Structure 1
Amino acid sequence: MFKFTGFAFGALFLIGLSDSTALAQETVQSMLAAQIRTQGFTCDKALGAKKDAKRSKADREVWVLRCSNATYRVGRAPDMAAKVEVIR
């Protein structure tokens, strides 16, 4: 009985982790899309966001945001407007 309970709990825990990861990713892409819209860029529908580890630094994150109409490179630093570059 205890083995099954442990297995069931472990499975539910892992399912919860994968759901929270998907939710966090969705939050990042929607947040980035909202931010670039406030700066005058068009993002009809946010399709995905991926952190650019090569360009990111400790005090400045860089993301590639894919929208249905364009792809943007978005650099974010605390308390500053995002630096947005149209990739395509």
Structure 2
Amino acid sequence: MAASRLEIMHRASGSLLFSFAFILFGSQVRAQQIPAETIQGMLAAQIRAQGFTCEKPLGAKKNARLSQPDRDVWLLKCSNAWFRITRVPDMAAKVEPLP
């Protein structure tokens, strides 16, 4: 039995609706799957670029006592070491491995 024109139009409209919904919401689904970058990830990348080894960043905490308005001091915990990182705008970070 051949499908009637009405059935064919109904199937085509369903496919068109699905395609339209995917175009509208597909980018939002993909964007939600990208993990947000964390401060420990950014600090680890910065010290790696300066020649230090941070195998896996596990956490970072800002040291409010040592920080100043234009100088942030962070403690970075990596799976292999601890670091004190002093960041000043437009300069390389001062990185101190901690025992």
**TM-score of the superposed pair, with normalisation by structure 1:** 0.70
* Alignment map for 1:33-44 (pairs within 5 Å): 33-44=44-55
SS state of the match for residue 38, structure 2?
helix
How many Å apart are 1:76 and its aligned residue? 0.2
Structure 1 gap ranges (5+)? 1-22
Match status 1:60 vs 2:75: no
How many Å apart are 1:27 and its aligned residue? 1.3
Q: How many residues align?
A: 64
Match status 1:73 vs 2:70: no
Deviations 1:65-87 (A, max 9, x none): 00000000000010100000011
Off by >4 Å, runs of 4+ in structure 1: none
Instruction: Give the alignment's Cα RMSD to 1 decimal.
Output: 1.0
- Identify which of structures 1 and 2 has the higher relative contact order when contacts are C-alpha pairs closer than 8 Å and 6+ apart: 1
Q: 2 CA distance for matches of 1:48 and 1:28?
A: 8
Identity value in percent: 66
